[in-house]
A = this chain, B = another copy of it.
């Protein structure tokens, strides 16, 4: 991220746009070049291969998706505040970039190994385990009802993210039923 040339930024922006929409296998280097308004060879000049370029974009996407979440894991925040932060964060981030979640989910499914790397390497990634512990102590204190902590986490994440992912289908459906 340190001092990218103007062209480099254009390329990354273009690559994000195309990769987010079409995925790795659906994206064409020519499309990215066109979107960036440059020659295709220049893509390879800066980022050697399609895969390398995709890696950058993917790492960017992961960061974008989870930056704010990290904030919820500060120790000095109450459980309910943490939950609020998580939900708000997802809604804000995805609202800003609707392609993000489905892009990540699809690509993780295509190459699970690629994500495990980013997860161990990448700085900001939400730690579910710590969230679970918070819920457990919260339940003991009586702040929330006693539930399976993992299930609660999954439910919160599901309800925060899935509506965006399924939006085209739901909207389509409602429209079809008049």
Q: A129-B177, A161-B162 are in contact. List 18 more A-B contacts (CB 8 A).
A: A23-B25, A23-B106, A24-B26, A25-B25, A26-B110, A102-B109, A105-B165, A105-B166, A105-B169, A106-B106, A109-B168, A112-B168, A119-B173, A125-B176, A157-B170, A158-B158, A158-B161, A161-B166
Contacts of A128 in B (CB 8 A): 170, 173-174, 177
Whether a CB of chain B sits under 8 angstroms from the CB of A22 is yes
Main secondary structure of the interface of A (DSSP, over half): helix
What's the nearest-Cβ distance from chain B to residue A104, in Å? Answer: 8
Given A106-B106, A115-B172, A169-B115, A127-B177 contact (CB < 8 Å): yes
Set of chain B residues within 8 Å of A159, measured between Cβ atoms: 154-155, 158-159
List B contacts of A138 (CB < 8 A).
none
Contact size range, A: 35 or more
Contacts A26-B25, A106-B106: A163 and B158 contacting too (C-beta < 8 A)? yes
Q: Which residues of A are interface residues toward B (Cβ below 8 A)? A: 22-26, 99, 102, 104-106, 108-110, 112, 115-116, 119-120, 125-130, 154-155, 157-159, 161-163, 165-166, 168-170, 172-174, 176-178
When the two chains form their complex, are residues A174 and B105 in contact, meaning their CB atoms are under 8 A apart?
no
